[in-house]
């Protein structure tokens, strides 16, 4: 099902964050209807580095492409701040459209993303121009542009956040994405902004509590699981030499059975 159709259903959808094609396939195998790949997981999984805005457009777009090619469900991708000004943002849209993703989010955070450094937001009119240019640059009408505002994250100012989201919605954004809001703030966003909302999961709250969101991103899901699980498995291996099991299940997921069937079909086995 297309992402646009999932959103139109009115049901709150979960998008678990993948790190790579394998984790995306595992997420899909559990019945989830869409997958997310963000800069946080891409920086961690591909480069073993922090997500500080250092990744380039080709790195994010190509990593997203590998995930799109591995699954049949829609993939939502992180396009950071768009990588270009409004006049050149068509290159960003083109890169992600050609990668096959279903949606990208473009943010108004100019610098920071860590509590220890000064945070900078892009001027609202500049961010809105990027959203407008991205909407006009797309060739596929089913490719969604999500406008992300980090204003509440940076300042805790809900009114500024709402003003920015309204401006981005007027620029043509298909969805709005206020980061680090709570349930009360999310409800106000839904009351005052017409477009559906995407949010990062609110810690300690069940999915049902996110009813005002169309999509809930668990952006670091696979990265955290892999970090925790691999550390645990290595510690056990060092302790008693135990190797992880599950080879048959993994190889089935990866398509070894399908390869064997093709080999038999074409007389190579």
CATH number at residue 53: 3.20.20.60
End-to-end CA distance of the chain: 36
Instruction: Say if residue 160 is exposed, middle or buried (CB neighbours under 10 Å; 0-12, 13-18, 19+).
Output: middle
Residues 111 and 195 reside in one and the same domain? yes
Tokens for 23, please give them.
């984790």
Q: Is residue 171 part of a domain?
A: yes
Residues 80 and 7 reside in one and the same domain? yes
Q: Is residue 164 part of a domain?
A: yes
Q: Which of 219, 239, 254 is the last residue of a domain?
A: 219
For the chain, percent of residues with pLDDT exceeding 90: 95
Residues 244 and 199 reside in one and the same domain? no
Residues 193 and 236 reside in one and the same domain? no
Instruction: Say if residue 248 is exposed, middle or buried (CB neighbours under 10 Å; 0-12, 13-18, 19+).
Output: exposed
Cα distances (angstroms) measured from residue 56 to each of 18, 39, 100: 19, 10, 18
Residues 138 and 211 reside in one and the same domain? yes
Mean pLDDT within 143-152: 98
Q: Is residue 202 part of a domain?
A: yes
pLDDT tens string 6-24: 999 999 999 999 999 999 9
Q: Is residue 131 part of a domain?
A: yes
Name the domain count of the chain: 2
Residues 203 and 243 reside in one and the same domain? no
Q: Which domain holds residue 141?
A: 3-219
Q: Which of 198, 219, 240 is the last residue of a domain?
A: 219
pLDDT tens string 163-184: 999 999 999 999 999 999 999 9
Tokens for 20, please give them.
């790579």
Per-residue model confidence (pLDDT) at position 269: 64
Residues 82 and 189 reside in one and the same domain? yes
Residue 199 has pLDDT above 70, yes or no: yes
Tokens for 116, please give them.
């220890």
Q: Is residue 224 part of a domain?
A: no
* Distance (Å, whole) CA 233 – CA 250: 16
Q: Is residue 260 part of a domain?
A: yes
Residues 141 and 89 reside in one and the same domain? yes
- Note if the pTM is more than 0.85: yes
Residues 154 and 176 reside in one and the same domain? yes
Q: Is residue 13 part of a domain?
A: yes
Q: How confident is the model at residue 150 (pLDDT cuts 50, 70, 90)?
A: very high
Residue 98 in contact with residue 79, Cβ under 8 Å?
no
Per-residue model confidence (pLDDT) at position 115: 77
Q: How confident is the model at residue 256 (pLDDT cuts 50, 70, 90)?
A: very high
Residues 72 and 176 reside in one and the same domain? yes
pLDDT tens string 221-230: 999 999 999 9
Q: What is the mean pLDDT of the chain?
A: 96
Q: Is residue 233 part of a domain?
A: yes
Spell out the alpha helix ranges (H) of 16-56.
Answer: 21-29, 39-47
Mean pLDDT within 52-69: 97
Residues 86 and 186 reside in one and the same domain? yes
Spell out the alpha helix ranges (H) of the chain.
Answer: 3-8, 21-29, 39-47, 57-68, 90-99, 124-137, 151-155, 158-170, 183-192, 221-240, 247-254, 256-265
Residues 50 and 136 reside in one and the same domain? yes
Cα Dmax for the chain = 67
């Amino acid at each position: 099902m297309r992402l646009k159709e999932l959103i139109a259903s009115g049901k709150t959808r979960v998008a678990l964050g993948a790190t790579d094609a394998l984790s995306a396939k595992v997420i899909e195998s559990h019945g989830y209807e869409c997958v997310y790949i963000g800069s946080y997981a891409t920086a961690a999984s591909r480069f073993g580095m922090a997500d500080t805005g250092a990744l380039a457009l080709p790195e994010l777009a190509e990593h997203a492409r590998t995930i799109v090619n591995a699954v049949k469900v829609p993939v939502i991708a992180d396009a950071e701040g768009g990588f270009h000004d409004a006049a050149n943002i068509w290159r960003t849209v083109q890169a992600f459209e050609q990668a096959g993703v279903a949606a990208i989010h473009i943010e108004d955070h100019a610098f920071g993303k860590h509590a220890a450094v000064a945070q900078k937001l892009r001027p609202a009119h500049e961010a809105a121009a990027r959203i407008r240019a991205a909407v006009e640059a797309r060739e596929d009408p089913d490719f969604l542009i999500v406008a992300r505002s980090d204003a509440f994250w940076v300042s805790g100012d809900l009114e500024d956040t709402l003003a920015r989201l309204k401006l981005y919605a007027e620029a043509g954004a298909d969805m709005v994405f206020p980061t680090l809001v709570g349930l009360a703030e999310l409800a106000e966003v839904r009351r005052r902004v017409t477009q559906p909302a995407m949010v990062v999961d609110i810690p300690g709250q069940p999915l049902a509590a996110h009813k005002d969101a169309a999509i809930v991103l668990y952006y670091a899901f696979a990265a955290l699981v892999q970090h925790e699980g691999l550390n645990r498995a290595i510690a056990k291996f060092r302790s008693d030499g135990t190797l992880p099991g599950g080879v048959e299940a993994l190889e089935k997921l990866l398509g070894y059975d399908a390869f064997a069937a093709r080999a038999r079909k074409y007389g190579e086995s």
